């Protein structure tokens, strides 16, 4: 086997493993979210299907699979059918450059726990996340329904207001690490928890948490679906597997935002104290922390009003992110 | 064929096909979505050339930022598909379009002919890393143009706000 073929084979294996891992994580997350949310609201949540209700995602999957698929009359059929696919593809694509750990040795071969090591990894994530809005716009517009259209409109406005802040929140870390490569930014945080970026770049971290939640369309930024005002927003008209795909995209987004946060702000797979070994398990722990935080937010905060959302994005987040960049740049140059 | 060649032709075909859809489609929303596909495919070609930085910038700036605005405006105004009579356009428009098309074909032909003679073949190790791009952009040669552009954009922004918010600023809409 030539070197190219070998590299291709390794990449292929990584793709299959990562894909299935994310699918598994997604289905477990749907159950975890409902259970945890229920406990926060003094309810029990789904607990009948299998032990503790763990088989609920399987039951849901089977149900959605066998449901009738309805394409509304007057919908733009092709775009309507394509939108969930676009949503899933863009959601999964960002995970391609997210490292899950350092390198491991498998069969005497060094394998990086990352699908693609790009020298512009951070920018790649930014690019892909800027594409993810199209799925929502497509779904909202193609269904030809005023509620979905409102969802799509809100979503695009929200995305370009918060994406800027999201991108700017990373600039400070890039300045500190002197690289767009995610592994370099993780390596830059070596030496224990007090070197991690969430402390060194506290304003950037806060901006990231807010903008990231908005990017994932999670409460309190779930205006694109806002079930109290827009029925179900952009996915009102979807049923069956296409609805499931949209759900999947939303959860994978949440996983991506948590994974990026874990890498950029919490030192990725690095141990919090120097005498413990670095391991992918740390990364998973941080990832789950991020996911729990999302559920916690949903159980705690009410939804923003549309004008509040815009005001906050442009008048608070953006200036904070800009000031942080200026301060960081000054420190990097003068130190 | 090598893997790179296969990918190149795949991206090229997608870019061309979607570019045709942009022009041929009567519904502006479809055109906008097709344009996004074109830009994405072009970004793939840049990536194949080894300039991941340029590829990513292409997606962020064009496919990401600019097209979202296009779609937002199209949805806000709820533009309808134009009918055939409108789409045909006037005689002047057709003449101008033909002339511009001919000019483009001539340009591409000339460039291809030059490349075939090997006059200015692209150097193999073309460096478009972020560091290199920044070094070129902020070199004395381009720094002035770069800063001038940013002032131009700022002026356009202020102008747009002043125009859109004229009544608001003077308190007329109160």
CA distance A98 to A115: 8
Closest residue in B to A151 (Cα–Cα): B75
- Mean pLDDT along residues A219-224: 72
Please write the tens of the pLDDT for every residue from A259-276: 888 888 888 788 787 777
Which residues on A lie below 8 Å from B52 (Cβ)?
118-120, 124
- Mark yes or no for CB contact B56/A124 under 8 Å: yes
- A148 and A137 Cβ atoms separated by less than 8 Å: no
DSSP state of A52: G
- The reported pLDDT for the residue numbered A101 is 75
Interface of A with B (CB under 8 A): 4, 8, 76, 79, 118-120, 123-124, 126-128, 130-131, 133-134, 137-138, 141, 149, 152-153, 156-157, 159-160, 163, 180
Asked whether the predicted pLDDT for residue B84 surpasses 60, the reply is no
Confidence check: pLDDT of B121 > 70:
no
The two tokens of residue A229 are: 């005002």
More confidently predicted of B104 and A222: B104
Query: What residues are paired with A109 via a beta bridge?
Result: A106
* Interval A113-150: pLDDT, tens: 777 777 788 888 888 888 888 888 888 787 777 788 88
Half-sphere CA count of A312, side-chain side, radius 13 A = 14
Q: What is the mean pLDDT of chain B?
A: 81
pLDDT > 60? residue A37: yes
Site of tokens 């309805």? A70
* pLDDT tens for each residue of B131-148: 888 888 888 888 888 889
Query: Which tokens go with A324?
Result: 């942080």
User: In Å, how far is B80's CA from the nearest CA of chain A?
Assistant: 12
Task: Please count the CA atoms within 13 angstroms of the CA of B113 that sit on its side-chain side.
Answer: 6
| Helix A202-215, helix A240-265: angle, nearest 10 | 170
Would you call A105 helix, strand, or coil by DSSP?
Answer: strand
**Sign of the C-alpha dihedral computed for residues A203, A207, A212 and A213 taken in this order:** positive
- Window 119-138 of B: residues touching A by CB (8 A cutoff) are 129-130
Mean pLDDT along residues A284-300: 87
For residue B25, the tally of other CB atoms under 10 A from its CB is 17
Mutate to test the interface with A, among B3, B56, B70 (most CBs of A within 10 A): B56
Tell me the mean pLDDT in the region A30-47.
86
Residue B155 pLDDT more than 90?
yes
Contact A125, A97 (CB under 8 A): yes
- The span from the first CA to the last CA of chain B, in angstroms, equals 68
Q: Which pTM does this prediction carry?
A: 0.82
Digit-coded pLDDT (tens) for A194-210: 788 888 888 888 889 88
Measured distance CA(A185)–CA(A122) in Å, rounded: 9
- State the nearest Cα–Cα gap between B53 and chain A, in angstroms: 6
pLDDT at B125: 55
Flag whether the ipTM exceeds 0.90. no
pLDDT of B102 > 90? The answer is yes
- The pLDDT value given to residue B81: 63
- B174 pLDDT band (50/70/90 cuts)? very low
Most confident of A20-24, A251-255, B13-17, B26-30: B13-17
What distance separates the 2 farthest-apart alpha carbons in chain A?
Answer: 64
pLDDT top residue among A119 and B13: B13
Q: Determine the residue of chain B that is closest to A159 in CA distance.
A: B68
B69: chain A residues, CB-CB within 8 Å:
160
Give B37-69 pLDDT, tens digit per residue. Answer: 899 899 888 888 878 888 888 888 888 778 888
DSSP collapsed to 3 states, B23-79: HHCCCHHHHHHHHHHHHHHHHHHHHHCCCHHHHHHHHHHHHHHHHHHHHHHHHHHCC
> Whole-number mean pLDDT of chain A?
82
pLDDT, tens digit, for every residue of A52-91?
A: 888 888 888 888 888 888 777 877 778 888 888 888 888 8
Please tell me the distance from the alpha carbon of residue A197 to that of residue A122, in angstroms, as a whole number. Answer: 15
Helix ranges (DSSP H) in A178-266: 182-187, 197-200, 202-215, 227-230, 240-265
- CA quadruple A106, A110, A113, A118: dihedral sign: negative
How many other C-beta atoms are found inside a 10 Å radius of the C-beta of residue A170? Answer: 25
């Amino acid at each position: 086997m030539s070197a190219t073929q070998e590299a291709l084979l390794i990449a292929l294996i990584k793709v299959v493993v990562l894909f299935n891992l994310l699918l598994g994580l997604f289905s477990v997350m749907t159950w975890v979210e409902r259970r945890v949310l229920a406990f926060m609201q003094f309810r029990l949540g789904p607990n009948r299907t299998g032990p503790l209700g763990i088989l609920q995602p399987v039951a849901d999957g089977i149900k959605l699979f066998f449901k009738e698929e309805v394409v509304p009359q007057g919908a733009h059929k092709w775009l309507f059918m394509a939108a969930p696919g676009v949503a899933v593809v863009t959601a999964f694509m960002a995970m391609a450059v997210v490292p899950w750990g350092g390198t491991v040795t498998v069969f005497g071969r060094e394998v990086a726990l990352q699908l693609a090591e790009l020298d512009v990894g951070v920018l790649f994530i930014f690019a892909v996340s800027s594409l993810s809005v199209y799925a929502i716009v497509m779904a909202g517009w193609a269904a030809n329904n005023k509620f979905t259209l409102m969802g799509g409109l809100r979503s695009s406005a929200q995305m370009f207001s918060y994406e800027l802040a999201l991108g700017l929140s990373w600039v400070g870390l890039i300045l500190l690490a002197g690289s767009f490569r995610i592994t370099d930014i993780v390596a830059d945080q070596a030496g224990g928890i007090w070197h991690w970026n969430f402390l060194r770049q506290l304003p950037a971290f806060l901006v990231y948490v807010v903008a990231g939640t908005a990017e994932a369309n999670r409460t309190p930024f779930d205006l694109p679906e806002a079930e109290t005002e827009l029925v179900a927003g952009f996915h009102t008209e979807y049923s069956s597997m296409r609805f499931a795909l949209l759900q999947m995209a939303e959860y994978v987004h949440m996983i991506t935002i948590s994974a990026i946060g874990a890498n950029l702000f919490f030192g990725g797979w690095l141990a919090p104290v120097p005498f413990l070994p670095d391991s992918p398990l740390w990364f998973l722990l941080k990832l789950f922390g991020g996911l729990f935080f999302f559920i916690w937010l949903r159980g705690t905060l009410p939804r923003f009003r549309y004008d509040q959302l815009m005001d906050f994005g442009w008048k608070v987040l953006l200036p904070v992110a800009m000031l942080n960049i200026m301060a960081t740049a000054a420190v990097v140059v003068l130190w | 064929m090598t893997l790179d060649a296969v990918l190149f032709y795949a991206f090229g075909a997608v870019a061309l096909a979607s570019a045709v859809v942009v022009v041929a489609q009567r519904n502006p929303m479809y055109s906008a979505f097709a344009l996004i596909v074109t830009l994405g495919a072009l970004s793939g070609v840049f990536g194949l050339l080894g300039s991941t930085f340029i590829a990513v910038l292409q997606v962020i700036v064009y496919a990401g930022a600019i097209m979202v605005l296009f779609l937002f405006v199209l949805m806000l105004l709820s533009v309808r598909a134009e009918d055939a009579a409108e789409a045909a356009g006037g005689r002047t428009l057709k003449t101008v379009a033909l002339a511009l098309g001919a000019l483009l074909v001539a340009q591409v032909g000339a460039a291809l002919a030059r490349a075939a003679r090997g006059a200015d073949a692209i150097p193999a190790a073309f460096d478009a890393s972020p560091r290199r791009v920044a070094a070129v952009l902020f070199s004395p040669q381009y720094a002035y143009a770069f800063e001038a552009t940013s002032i131009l954009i700022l002026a356009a922004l202020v102008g747009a706000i002043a125009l859109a918010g004229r009544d608001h600023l003077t308190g007329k809409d109160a």
